Every structure is written in structure tokens, then in C-alpha cells.
Amino acid sequence: MEGSIISSGVAIGWPSNSDYLVPWDTETKFGSTYDFFDAGTSTTRLVIPTGVTNVEIFQCAAADGFGATGVDSRWVLMKNGADYMVEQVDNQQWAPHSLRTGVITVTPGDYFQFEYRTYGGTGDCQETATRMVVVVNPMSHLLGALHAVATTDISITGDTSPVWGTPDIDNLSTQYSTTEFEAPTDALFAVVSSNGSIITPSSGWTNIKSYKNGTVVGAALRDNQSTPSAGILTPIPVTAGDLLKVTYFRSGATLDGSETHINIEWYG
């Protein structure tokens, strides 16, 4: 398993009504000797090194502090200076954002950047959620996968873990409890995704968090609409025995168990 996480160690202040290439300062490698980031060359570029031909790229961020009215924004993954994947989020106070490219072919020297374009107020980025992740040859390193559905509807009180039933996919037997899942031997990296639906939608915000060993490693915030469904996507390095879980928070709401899922891909 080979790859890197490119992140920023400082909070990022989003500008107003402008395009902003996100600068990075840290590369964290997992099982890899490849260098994807060189701050001496460019602080905004993830560059494909020699020997790498297939990757999957994740881009994750969440913004905070846009004020009561919300803003419209675009979150753009750029390849070699041109738009490659685009997500647009409208009228959000907090703009959750995460995308994955799927497996793509690349050539050495290709570079990827994360550009934020806003059409309204300014805000700050959540440090824990903002990063680019590159996984090398992901099609060759999947150890196993998990999928489970919540067993019952759950009234949400604070950050609440769904109670998961017996998985219909779990070839590595990673279910640790009804709320947590344990990284298996050899696992170096996990992709956690979860989505849930609210039974009676109403205006308000939904916050989904992902955790490793009790510490928040990802967040997805969606606000200023009656959205009954929201999802989180978190790529995260792991070691054997790490415990992963997700929680949901929406004031006074009840999760529809039959429409609340968790998926984990284990790579090693």
C-alpha cells in the first residue's frame, strides 16, 4: 500500500468572491517512498513522481464561519492547471466537501491542486478535514470491505452512533461492536463512508463525524436547508487494532435506520 496525505498545519482563511489555490505544508506517507509534495517547488501542487501510473485522489474539506445567510461555492480538483472535477455547493453556511476520483491513469509530472471559489462571504477551513490524499495503485491493495445497515431508527441526542446490524459484507471480520470497527492486521489505510436519512426533515444543520480511537478524523457539515440525507467520506491511515466509528448530530431528529449505512474499505 503506497500513498501520501497532503495537508495544511494551519487554519485556512477562505477569501471572498475569488479563486483560491489551497497551500499545503505537510506530506504524510503511508507505506511509501514516493514524494508527491515539495514545498520548495510549489506549496499548492501534488505532483505525480516517476514510476506511478495509477492513482486515486481524495479531496476533503469543510468550511466554517460563513455567517447566517450562507454562500455559494465551488470546490475544484485541478489537473495540470485545468478543472478536472468540480463540486458546487449552494447556499450553505458550512460547506462540506469531499470527492474521490476513482482510479485514474497518470503520467509523471502531472500535478493536482485544490482550488476554492466562493461567491459570497469569507470563512475558515476546518484543519482536521482539509487535505488531499493520493493512493497509488488502489486497485491492487484492497484487503477487504465492510457494509452494514443500522438496525433501528435512532433518536439523536448529541453526537450519536448508529447501532449497526450484522454486516452483509465483512470478509475480514472487522466488526468490533455494534458501533465500532477494528482495523485488521496489515491494514494501512481505510476509507470510511456513511450516509443517513432523517425521518422528518426540517430546516437545520446535520453534522456527521468520523473517529479513529475516539478522536475525530473527519467531519461533514450541511446546513441551511431541509436536507434529510447527508454523507461523510474519510480517507485515513490506520494500524491494526485501530477502532473506527461515525456519529450523527441533528437537533431533535431521528435517523431512519433502514437508510443509514456505513462502508469501510481496508487497504494494505
Residues within the interface to other proteins (CB under 8 A): 1-2, 9, 23, 25-34, 39-40, 43, 51, 54, 83-91, 99-105, 139-147, 168-169, 186-188, 193, 195, 197, 201, 203, 225-229, 231, 233, 237, 239, 259, 261, 263-265, 268
Q: Which amino acid is present at 137? A: N
Closer residue to other proteins in complex, CB, 158/224: 224
Closest distance between other proteins and the C-beta of residue 41, in Å?
A: 11
CA 225, 221, 23: angle at the middle one, nearest 5? 125
C-beta of 27 vs 180, nearer to other proteins:
27
CB of 132 to other proteins, least distance (A): 15
Q: The C-alpha cell of 110 is what? A: 502531472
In the complex, minimum distance from the CB of residue 82 to other proteins, in angstroms, rounded to a whole number: 9
In the chain, count H helices and then E strands.
0, 23
Residue 41 or 158 with smaller CB distance to other proteins: 41
Smallest CA-to-CA distance from 251 within 179, 159, 144, 181 is with: 159
Instruction: Using the minimum distance from each CB to other proteins, give the nearer residue, 1 or 221.
Output: 1
Residue 99 or 163: the one with the smaller Cβ distance to other proteins is 99
N-to-C CA span, the chain = 5
Tell me the C-alpha distance between 60 and 77, whole Å: 10
**From the CB of 165, what's the least distance to other proteins, in Å?**
14
Give the shortest CB-139-to-other proteins separation in angstroms.
Answer: 5
Residue among 67 and 142 whose Cβ is closer to other proteins: 142
Q: Is 43 left (phi over 0), alpha (psi -120 to 50) or beta?
A: alpha
Quote the radius of gyration of the chain (alpha carbons, Å): 18
Q: How far apart are CA 206 and CA 221, in angstroms?
A: 6
Q: Cell numbers of 113, please? A: 491542486
Residue 246 C-beta: closest distance to other proteins, Å: 13
CB of residue 143 to other proteins, shortest distance in Å:
6
- What is the DSSP secondary structure assignment for residue 22, as one 8-state letter? P
Nearer to other proteins, 155 or 169 (CB): 169
Write down the residue that cell numbers 497509488 correspond to: 136
Burial of 92 per CB tally in 10 Å (0-12, 13-18, 19+): buried
